Amino acid sequence: MIENLKEFLDFKVAQYNQPGFITNDPISIPHLFTKKQDIEIMGFWAATLAWGQRVTIINKCKELIQLMDGAPYDFIINHEESDLKKLLNFKHRTFNDIDTLYFIAFFRYHYERNESLESAFQPPSPLKGEHDVNHETPPLGGWGAEAALNHFRSYFFSLPDYPHRTKKHVSSPSQKSTCKRLNMFLRWMVRKDNCGVDFGIWNQLKPADLIMPCDLHVDRVSRKLNLITRKQTDWQTALELTERLREFDPVDPVKYDFALFGLGIEEKF
């Protein structure tokens, strides 16, 4: 076993948390944009589609961007019904045109009422209604990722006649899911450093509140390093791993995603 695990993982974070990481990773998709809303929309979409070969994920996201005329936010806000026809053939694995059109409908609903997607992850104040997402300043320490993710799924599927099949693409802790894709998206939006990979454009959740994105590579490497003892892989597993990593860095435990993922996919650790 590695003698000084923190020192080893810190070294690996420094190795992978740098611009060279972006090229072959789905985070390259939101990095194609400078407008905050485009970063949020395509970051969310890239995270949602992030299963399978990374090169395929990136290519499908680029196809989607092209179908939205290279300007996702502008397309979502200003499209007419006839503009949606070209999206009817978009598909990635089990994500199809029904899911695509609902994502667009949700984004339009949300951005017509809010400047940022961040507010969609903010649980309502006790003094406000469930769907009034223009909230007050959060309590000290934020709401935490679990409350944010549970609220987001409820809000995301609050539009009338949402397609039931689309629910499988947006997970939540209440379903016992690891929420790998959404935790990865939150990492992209929330983590703040000067390394040029994560965006750090959201402020209500803090890096200390984030939960590790527990994909197959991270799970395998973490078990090999005895960072996970739980037999199954679910939300509690993600919490267990995050708690172990907080021992190394309580302010920014999810930075170790770079180390564990890099060891798994690049070094086949």
> How many residues are present in the chain?
269
What single-letter DSSP state applies at residue 156?
A: H
- 156, 106 Cβ separation under 8 angstroms: yes
Helix (H) or strand (E) holding 66: helix 54-67
Whole-number Å distance between alpha carbons of 169 and 77? 22
Helix (H, G, I), strand (E, B), or coil: what is residue 95? strand
User: Residue 191, CB half-sphere, CA atoms under 13 Å: how many?
Assistant: 23
pLDDT by residue (tens digit) across 180-227? 999 999 999 999 999 999 999 999 999 999 999 999 999 999 999 999
Sign of the Cα torsion 119, 135, 149, 12 reads positive
The pair of three-digit structure tokens given for residue 173, joined into one six-digit string: 């802790």
Q: CA-based angle 181:210:255, to the nearest 5?
A: 85
pLDDT by residue (tens digit) across 139-183? 333 358 999 999 999 999 999 999 999 999 999 999 999 999 999
What single-letter DSSP state applies at residue 86?
A: G
Whole-number Å distance between alpha carbons of 132 and 144? 19
- 27, 49 Cβ separation under 8 angstroms: no
Sequence ranges of the domains in the chain? 5-265
What single-letter DSSP state applies at residue 215?
A: -
- 26, 50 Cβ separation under 8 angstroms: yes
pTM equals 0.92
- 122, 138 Cβ separation under 8 angstroms: yes
pLDDT by residue (tens digit) across 111-139? 999 999 999 999 876 544 444 444 433 43
Going from the C-alpha of 86 to that of each of 20, 40, 96, 231, the distances in angstroms are 34, 22, 13, 45
Whole-number Å distance between alpha carbons of 137 and 135? 7
Residue 256 buriedness (CB in 10 A; 0-12 / 13-18 / 19+): buried
Helix (H, G, I), strand (E, B), or coil: what is residue 92? strand
| Residue 68: predicted pLDDT | 98
Helix (H, G, I), strand (E, B), or coil: what is residue 161? coil
The pair of three-digit structure tokens given for residue 252, joined into one six-digit string: 């920014």
Model confidence at 56: pLDDT above 90? yes
Average pLDDT over residues 82-107: 96
pLDDT by residue (tens digit) across 219-263? 999 999 999 999 999 999 999 999 999 999 999 999 999 999 999
| Residue 140: predicted pLDDT | 30
